[in-house]
Chains A and B, each alone.
Chain A
């Protein structure tokens, strides 16, 4: 009996989640024992949790609407990058600052977010239409669409007709430099907003509030009539169709929301990073987001906001705590990137194997 119960509990928690949790605990413990400054690493974990939170949250709508993890969140990411670049290009922050001192960065960020949402909205609808045509192989298609969009945008960034001196290559005259500094617009805006020190730990209140706010919005959206329809069409398309829900439309809504969240997410991420990295930097972000939400306990068919919050924390915690510990234990070797690669893809593989596959060619 107890064995069965144990197995059932294990099924709920899932092996990778357990392993990652134990691994994380072990690493934090080792760090503590070895006299590593746990508090400061914990602070940066909180900061990175905020930076990644919305990007990982973008997985929830796409999983809920039945498309599965959105490997192609890079589509939303490039929209967000475009919005940010436009905010710099139009000099929003200095201009507003001249009129209303102090409000500049906020207006610049709002402008960037507004533009990104608008662009991502349109892109998301088209993307949703594409994904409705390829039901059954969404994951593969989203992956490769995401990859090719990143490289398409690389070509675009390279020749884009920006004129702001902060964006273009110092010697070039056109194109986006890599990276672009956000110093003059909204770098670290949310990170520093209302931030305070709780003992040795720095709490970036602004970014935490921002993530929680967006989570709340998404939460209430899924409580609304449309949101429930989206969840229903993802959970059981046949039943949803029978109850008069237009499943294809709901899928488009879900993936659009996911793309928009991706766009907002990258704006929040770049403000926390202080620099905007165009080109191939966002290439692996999709996989990272998928792995984060899966570590949090989501599956390819089920995801909640709690999964996002837990998963992002665990993943970022691992990424931040492993390098110092591995440095300490293995005498100057940084094994963390390799570990991250193994854990990230292992978690995705586990989820795929658990999902028992689709029905194509059955």
Chain B
């Protein structure tokens, strides 16, 4: 396709196709721009708010991708993951753990809970094949009820739980749960330098463990590559420790947040160095894909670096302060999604997602694959909720989890995902767009109508409306009018029965 000469017609067609393929995203970009223009607000306020919300919400949204590809649709049931996270927080706070240790303990407690909940959820989804989304939604409400029963009546009422700070009247937890002083910002406050040190240590260990594992399994190990990786990690580790003792670097990178202007500088320089090194080392042919990619990187890096010296943009960059470790965790979630989808399990999930009957005839255990996908999603949601809450700092004990599914699903749909297809890219774009609108739409409405009370309605209408429209569009496109029964079956039978043929990522 890329080799065809670009004449006017094909470029117009290309534009048309681009607009059509990205209509949802474009619509929301347009809406955001209109809202920003109407609201006439402070750009640095919007930017800092959006980046905060990005750090807070993205992990929850990334939890939706795997079940979506496994054919479960949008997993509204991530509410149970959030419940697991909140339950773990109650005990960790009760026992008096604080900071990063407390958060890790939360992870430790919430993970098995989330696996259990996910397993039950998966079992239920297997009983309601074809209507997983409504099941997930209703289950969310149901779990909400059980959780409320537990939190308000059973804790302290049936289970002995003696903590006057947490209990309101002898039994039942306090309505608002304050994390200030124990878990608030426990992840966000980790500095960039510490993050880099931790990541390099993790990288050293994982490289060594993986290579020894590969050796044990009898697979070939590229010793040079392994040594290279370890050495690079050690160098990074040493640099990050040494930087602690250089006052300028420590001031810039060692504080609890990373200024976005610094991040842009670092990223720009890093990208530029990477591009230059790769160009010098691999020497890709001019015009080849790899060359273009590297050239693109270099241009991007230059744009970033130059933009940092434009006063207005720099001011904007300076107003945004990024939590380094949280963003690292988001990257980890993205890589994890990619990694799991590249494994055999991930391939099976895609096959199951495309056609259950094909998967069954290929000898896959459909039910088990679906349960695993649900479990992974629930665990990711639990961790995501922990990240969300440590950033928020205070939460409504009874109701905090109830809208988790709604906002996450709305966000990923805004990013252009649909019931059968979702990717990390869509999740990230979606979170940015959705939360930009979430910040600016009420401002714009207030300006237009002159009353701030309406903003809550607009937010809710907007979230529900996105889901309604997107579900309806998808159901319509995927042939809602199709006659059920015989025709549907035969169409399935005509699909290739070799799972590998249609499970390859496209």
Let me know if A362 is at the binding interface, CB within 8 A: yes
Taking CB atoms, residues of chain A closer than 8 Å to B482 are 135
Let me know if A357 is at the binding interface, CB within 8 A: yes
Taking CB atoms, residues of chain A closer than 8 Å to B484 are 135-136, 237-238, 359
- Which of A140, A159, A280 contacts B131 (CB under 8 A)? A140
- Which of B134, B145, B472, B483 contacts A352 (CB under 8 A)? B134
Interface 0/1 of B460-497, CB less than 8 Å to A: 11001101100110011010111111101100100000
List 29 A-B pairs, Cβ < 8 Å: A135-B481, A136-B480, A136-B484, A137-B133, A139-B134, A140-B131, A141-B468, A144-B471, A145-B472, A148-B465, A152-B461, A154-B460, A158-B449, A158-B457, A159-B454, A237-B483, A279-B457, A287-B138, A338-B145, A341-B145, A345-B144, A348-B138, A352-B131, A356-B127, A357-B129, A357-B130, A358-B131, A362-B129, A362-B357
A359 to B131, CA, bound (A): 9
Least CB distance from A350 to B in Å reads: 10
Query: In the complex, are the beta carbons of A341 and B144 less than 8 A apart?
Result: yes
Interface 0/1 of A233-252, CB less than 8 Å to B: 00001100100000000000
- Which of A71, A144, A355 contacts B467 (CB under 8 A)? A144
- Which of A134, A279, A352 contacts B475 (CB under 8 A)? A134
Let me know if B139 is at the binding interface, CB within 8 A: yes
Report if A154-B457 is in contact (Cβ < 8 Å); known contacts: A133-B476, A349-B142.
yes
Let me know if A98 is at the binding interface, CB within 8 A: no
Query: In the complex, are the beta carbons of B476 and A134 less than 8 A apart?
Result: yes
Report if A135-B356 is in contact (Cβ < 8 Å); known contacts: A148-B464, A158-B453, A342-B149.
no
Query: In the complex, are the beta carbons of B128 and A152 less than 8 A apart?
Result: no
Least CB distance from B134 to A in Å reads: 4
User: In this complex, which of A139, A158, A342 has the most chain B Cβ atoms within 10 angstroms of its Cβ?
Assistant: A342
Q: Which residues of A contact B (CB under 8 A)?
A: 71, 130, 132-137, 139-141, 143-145, 147-148, 151-152, 154-155, 158-159, 237-238, 241, 279-280, 287, 330, 333, 335, 338-339, 341-342, 344-346, 348-349, 352-353, 355-362
Let me know if B295 is at the binding interface, CB within 8 A: no
Instruction: Decide if the interface of chain A is mainly helix, strand, loop or mixed.
Output: helix
- Which of B130, B137, B486 contacts A136 (CB under 8 A)? B130
Let me know if B141 is at the binding interface, CB within 8 A: yes
Least CB distance from B137 to A in Å reads: 7
Let me know if B28 is at the binding interface, CB within 8 A: no
Let me know if B52 is at the binding interface, CB within 8 A: no
Taking CB atoms, residues of chain A closer than 8 Å to B475 are 133-137, 141
Taking CB atoms, residues of chain A closer than 8 Å to B71 are 361
- Lowest 7 A-B CB distances belong to which pairs? A358-B130, A134-B475, A151-B461, A341-B145, A357-B130, A144-B468, A345-B142
Query: In the complex, are the beta carbons of B471 and A338 less than 8 A apart?
Result: no
A174 to B476, CA, bound (A): 39
A335 to B150, CA, bound (A): 11
Taking CB atoms, residues of chain B closer than 8 Å to A344 are 141
Query: In the complex, are the beta carbons of A135 and B480 less than 8 A apart?
Result: yes
Query: In the complex, are the beta carbons of A362 and B468 less than 8 A apart?
Result: no
A339 to B139, CA, bound (A): 15
Taking CB atoms, residues of chain B closer than 8 Å to A241 are 483
Taking CB atoms, residues of chain B closer than 8 Å to A143 are 134, 137
Least CB distance from A328 to B in Å reads: 16
- In the complex formed, the residue of B with least CB distance to A290 is B138
A335 to B486, CA, bound (A): 50
Query: In the complex, are the beta carbons of A155 and B461 less than 8 A apart?
Result: yes
Least CB distance from A73 to B in Å reads: 15
Let me know if B458 is at the binding interface, CB within 8 A: yes
Query: In the complex, are the beta carbons of A151 and B464 less than 8 A apart?
Result: yes
Query: In the complex, are the beta carbons of A359 and B464 less than 8 A apart?
Result: no
Query: In the complex, are the beta carbons of A362 and B480 less than 8 A apart?
Result: no
Let me know if B161 is at the binding interface, CB within 8 A: no
A311 to B197, CA, bound (A): 62
Query: In the complex, are the beta carbons of B148 and A338 less than 8 A apart?
Result: yes
Find residues 323-377 in chain B having any chain A CB closer than 8 Å to their own CB. Answer: 353, 355-357
A297 to B130, CA, bound (A): 23
Total contacts A-B at CB 8 Å: 165
Least CB distance from B397 to A in Å reads: 13
Let me know if B379 is at the binding interface, CB within 8 A: no
Query: In the complex, are the beta carbons of A335 and B153 less than 8 A apart?
Result: yes
Let me know if B146 is at the binding interface, CB within 8 A: yes
Report if A130-B472 is in contact (Cβ < 8 Å); known contacts: A135-B481, A341-B141, A341-B145.
yes
- In the complex formed, the residue of A with least CB distance to B139 is A349
Report if A145-B134 is in contact (Cβ < 8 Å); known contacts: A333-B153, A345-B142, A361-B356.
no
- Which of A132, A357, A362 contacts B481 (CB under 8 A)? A132
Let me know if B272 is at the binding interface, CB within 8 A: no
Taking CB atoms, residues of chain A closer than 8 Å to B129 are 356-358, 362
- Which of A144, A338, A356, A362 contacts B356 (CB under 8 A)? A362
- In the complex formed, the residue of A with least CB distance to B357 is A362
Taking CB atoms, residues of chain B closer than 8 Å to A353 are 124, 127-128, 135
A358 to B471, CA, bound (A): 16
Least CB distance from B35 to A in Å reads: 15
Query: In the complex, are the beta carbons of B153 and A338 less than 8 A apart?
Result: yes
Taking CB atoms, residues of chain B closer than 8 Å to A136 are 130, 475, 480, 484
Let me know if B173 is at the binding interface, CB within 8 A: no
Taking CB atoms, residues of chain A closer than 8 Å to B451 are 158
Let me know if B152 is at the binding interface, CB within 8 A: yes
A137 to B133, CA, bound (A): 9
Taking CB atoms, residues of chain B closer than 8 Å to A342 are 142, 145-146, 149
A8 to B111, CA, bound (A): 40
A330 to B169, CA, bound (A): 13
Taking CB atoms, residues of chain B closer than 8 Å to A333 are 153
Report if A140-B471 is in contact (Cβ < 8 Å); known contacts: A342-B146, A359-B484.
yes
Find residues 107-166 in chain B having any chain A CB closer than 8 Å to their own CB. Answer: 124, 127-131, 133-135, 137-139, 141-142, 144-146, 148-149, 152-153
A191 to B144, CA, bound (A): 35
Q: A139-B131, A342-B142 are in contact. List 17 more A-B contacts (CB 8 A).
A: A133-B480, A134-B476, A137-B419, A141-B471, A143-B134, A148-B465, A155-B454, A155-B461, A158-B453, A335-B153, A342-B145, A344-B141, A346-B145, A349-B124, A352-B128, A356-B128, A359-B130
- In the complex formed, the residue of A with least CB distance to B451 is A158
Taking CB atoms, residues of chain B closer than 8 Å to A147 are 460, 464, 468
Least CB distance from B128 to A in Å reads: 5
Taking CB atoms, residues of chain B closer than 8 Å to A361 are 71, 130, 353, 355-356, 420
- In the complex formed, the residue of A with least CB distance to B129 is A357
A361 to B476, CA, bound (A): 14
A12 to B356, CA, bound (A): 30
A147 to B419, CA, bound (A): 19
Query: In the complex, are the beta carbons of A357 and B128 less than 8 A apart?
Result: yes
- Which of B134, B137, B149, B472 contacts A338 (CB under 8 A)? B149
Least CB distance from A137 to B in Å reads: 5
Query: In the complex, are the beta carbons of A140 and B137 less than 8 A apart?
Result: yes
Taking CB atoms, residues of chain A closer than 8 Å to B130 are 136, 357-362
A339 to B127, CA, bound (A): 24
- Which of A141, A158, A358 contacts B472 (CB under 8 A)? A141
Taking CB atoms, residues of chain B closer than 8 Å to A348 are 138
A256 to B363, CA, bound (A): 45
Least CB distance from B398 to A in Å reads: 9
Interface 0/1 of B419-463, CB less than 8 Å to A: 110000000000000000000000000000101011001101100
A270 to B460, CA, bound (A): 25
Query: In the complex, are the beta carbons of B356 and A345 less than 8 A apart?
Result: no
- In the complex formed, the residue of A with least CB distance to B467 is A144
Least CB distance from B73 to A in Å reads: 8
User: In this complex, which of A140, A238, A346 has the most chain B Cβ atoms within 10 angstroms of its Cβ?
Assistant: A140
